[in-house]
Amino acid sequence: MNIQELIQKDIEHFYAVEIPESLIQIQKTKKEFKGHLTVVVFPLLKISKKNPEQTATEIGEYLIKNQSFILEYNVIKGFLNLTVAAAYWIRTLNEIHENKTYGIKIAGEDAPLVMIEYSSPNTNKPLHLGHIRNNFLGYSISEILKANGNKVVKTNIVNDRGIHICKSMLAWKNWGNGETPESTGKKGDHLVGDYYVKFDQEYKKELAKWEATGLTLKEAEEKSQLMAGAREMLRKWEAGDLETVALWKKMNVWVYAGFDETYKALGVDFDKIYYESETYLEGKEKVLEGIEKGIFYKKEDGSVWADLTPDGLDEKLLLRADGTSVYMTQDIGTAKLRFDDYPIQKMIYVVGNEQNYHFQILSLLLDKLGFEFGKGLVHFSYGMVELPEGKMKSREGTVVDADDLIEEMICTAKETSKELGKLEDCSAEEAQAVSRIVGLGALKYFILKVDPRKNMVFNPKESIDFNGNTGPFIQYAYARIQSVLRRGREYINLRSSCAFTINEKEENLIQLMSEFPAIVREAADDLSPAVIANYVYDLVKEYNQFYHDYSILREENEGLRRFRLMLSLNVGKIIQTGLALLGIQAPERM
């Protein structure tokens, strides 16, 4: 049991009743008061039948008599502040040290299986800053759930069909002159993305010509030959037209190669990739079954709809009049295939909050179609990423490209490190490797430290700062700890004795370290990497204050020197574990 569980048991013994966990509130003592832990006694007043001060005092007296690790207590109104003996903190440090997977729960044979979908790119454009937040969140949540004893399948659904894909295809066919990634020297996803932008540019020119003749925008859109061509291409693709399918396959191969390169650079991966081109037919089949069962209905033009007005929503299109499917149909098919493939206990979709309504409908439709997992789907809805200049738009070519951003972060990390003299002892290869680790660490940390449900503004310059709440600040602290350990490795004792006195900063540091398993659980419960990120930052701040105020290798008391090295070793262990849960590397040298 940890200290809080022991205190809870003692309180139950004292009152000789089983007390709901929610009524026993134990928290860290505020810095302005003496003590390590504070018991909030107000929820216990119905059991004690006494006022707050009397209740706190009688619990404090009982704990002093029954727990040797409680040194003293003080009462401030309805708060019981407890001071814990140094021997307890030293014992805690020894336990942390001996636990090689501290804070991590390994999945057992019958552990629940959770599937997490993230990334979900379109094959008409390269990954951009919005995808970066999605990928980092999805990967980190997967690692956090694994650390809580779950089996996890990381999955990706590639949007490789639809009108947007046909726009890129048509633009390449019209204006590409046979260009390939090899002939242009461009990554395939960038080349295809350029033609998506080209389509939009030419489409706007066409609309402007029609509007100049006096037509309204809607009338101009109906007259557009370019958009009609894209729709016809989609119809041909779904009909299996050989020429159209061959072009689609060729351009998708270019894009997949580009995606793989970007995923590798980002440090994310997947256990299973699904493709909408392979799942949409399953969805169409389920929709047609839904018509037969009276769940869906056809309109006169042949389009298929779901009437969700009885559920407080509106009508939802599932198949267009020409028989082509929409995103919702594809998602129904993908969900079916996934649950056919895996015995999933929980399905989590990592998708931006712009799709809240979509997933509300998907859950309802799956339930109506008789899928038991329908209502249990979890939409992890995260906020959008914006730049200081505002929102990004793919078809206008105003997005921040993921590859460009990665390169910029690595270069900025290198320049900043050089200015601070942190790469002086490194070879050119080492300097590049460290710059990559620091640049990507800065990018990941800056994005993941923010509550995922909030919109955020990404500022590259702010993210690479060796001071403040940043990835490089934490990485540098870890590298410094490793440097201390390399110089003092011979002094580290596997178990520290109590033949010395530890100070308040050391006690506070161990207390913070002891909270790590609870932090990992909280991050999983909230599906929030920000919980881990900000805990690691707090741990580093606390350690830096200790490092600044107290000598480690020059400490004359050998027992205390060994203790401080062991303390540093385990702070480093927790930093490394915490960063790994965020998908961030902890460099040995910086």
Strand segments (E) across 374-504? 378-382, 385-386, 456-457
Question: In the chain, which residues fall in CATH 3.40.50.620?
Answer: 118-386
On the CB side of 126, CA atoms within 13 Å amount to: 28
Q: What is the pLDDT of residue 397?
A: 47
On the CB side of 477, CA atoms within 13 Å amount to: 32
- The sign of the dihedral angle between the CA atoms of 289, 294, 296, 301 is positive
User: What is the CA angle 528-531-532, rounded to 5?
Assistant: 105
Helix, strand or coil, per DSSP, at residue 38: strand
Largest Cα separation within the chain, whole Å, is 93
Cβ–Cβ < 8 Å for 113, 343: yes
pLDDT of 494 over the 50 cut: no
Three-class SS string for 530-553?
HHHHHHHHHHHHHHHHHHHHCCCC
pLDDT of 349 over the 90 cut: yes
Q: What tokens appear for 479 in the block?
A: 């590298």
Distance CA 523, CA 495 (A): 30
What is the gyration radius of the CA atoms in the chain, in angstroms? 29
Distance CA 449, CA 458 (A): 12
Q: What b/e sequence results for 256-277 when a residue is b if at least 16 CB atoms lie within 10 Å of its CB, and e otherwise? A: bebbeebbebbbbebeeebbbb
Helix, strand, coil % over all residues of the chain, rounded to 5: 60, 15, 30
Q: What is the pLDDT of residue 392?
A: 43
Average pLDDT over every residue of 247-259: 97
Measure Cα distances from 209 to 198, 216, 226, 265 in Å: 17, 11, 13, 43
β-partners of residue 484 are none
Distance CA 569, CA 102 (A): 13
**Average confidence score pLDDT of the chain:** 92
pLDDT of 256 over the 80 cut: yes
Q: What is the pLDDT of residue 571?
A: 98
Q: What is the pLDDT of residue 425?
A: 74
Question: In the chain, which residues fall in CATH 3.30.1360.70?
Answer: 3-84
CB atoms within 10 A of CB 9: 15
Q: What is the pLDDT of residue 1?
A: 59
What does DSSP assign to residue 108?
-
Query: From 1.10.730.10, 3.30.565.10, 3.30.360.30, 3.40.50.720, which CATH number describes the 404-581 domain?
Result: 1.10.730.10
Q: What is the pLDDT of residue 395?
A: 45
Closest C-alpha among 511, 522, 514, 541 to residue 581: 522
Average pLDDT over every residue of 283-305: 94
Q: What is the pLDDT of residue 176?
A: 96
What percent of the chain has pLDDT above 90? 78
Q: What is the pLDDT of residue 485?
A: 95
Distance CA 117, CA 273 (A): 9
Average pLDDT over every residue of 341-353: 95
Cβ-proximal residues to 393 (8 Å cutoff; 6+ apart), any chain: 399
The 10s digit of each residue's pLDDT in 44-72 is 999 999 999 999 999 999 999 999 899 99
Distance CA 584, CA 267 (A): 9
The 10s digit of each residue's pLDDT in 216-250 is 999 999 999 999 999 999 989 989 999 999 999 99
Least confident of 17-21, 494-498, 531-535: 494-498
What does DSSP assign to residue 43?
G
Cβ–Cβ < 8 Å for 395, 196: yes
Average pLDDT over every residue of 335-349: 94
The 10s digit of each residue's pLDDT in 18-40 is 998 889 899 999 989 999 999 99
The 10s digit of each residue's pLDDT in 502-521 is 999 999 999 999 999 999 99
Distance CA 430, CA 440 (A): 15
Q: What tokens appear for 315 in the block?
A: 């009508």
Question: In the chain, which residues fall in CATH 1.10.730.10?
Answer: 404-581
Question: What does 301-361 look like in DSSP terms, one character per residue?
Answer: TS-EEEE-GGGTS-EEEEE-TTS-B-HHHHHHHHHHHHHHHS--SEEEEEEEGGGHHHHHH
pLDDT of 587 over the 50 cut: yes
The CATH T-level fold of domain 118-386 is Rossmann fold (3.40.50)
Distance CA 338, CA 331 (A): 10
pLDDT band at residue 495 using 50, 70 and 90 as cut-offs: low
Cβ–Cβ < 8 Å for 415, 472: no
The CATH T-level fold of domain 3-84 is Gyrase A; domain 2 (3.30.1360)
The residue type at 463: S
pLDDT of 497 over the 70 cut: no
Q: What is the pLDDT of residue 527?
A: 97
Distance CA 198, CA 201 (A): 5
Strand segments (E) across 112-173? 113-117, 151-158
Q: What is the pLDDT of residue 493?
A: 54
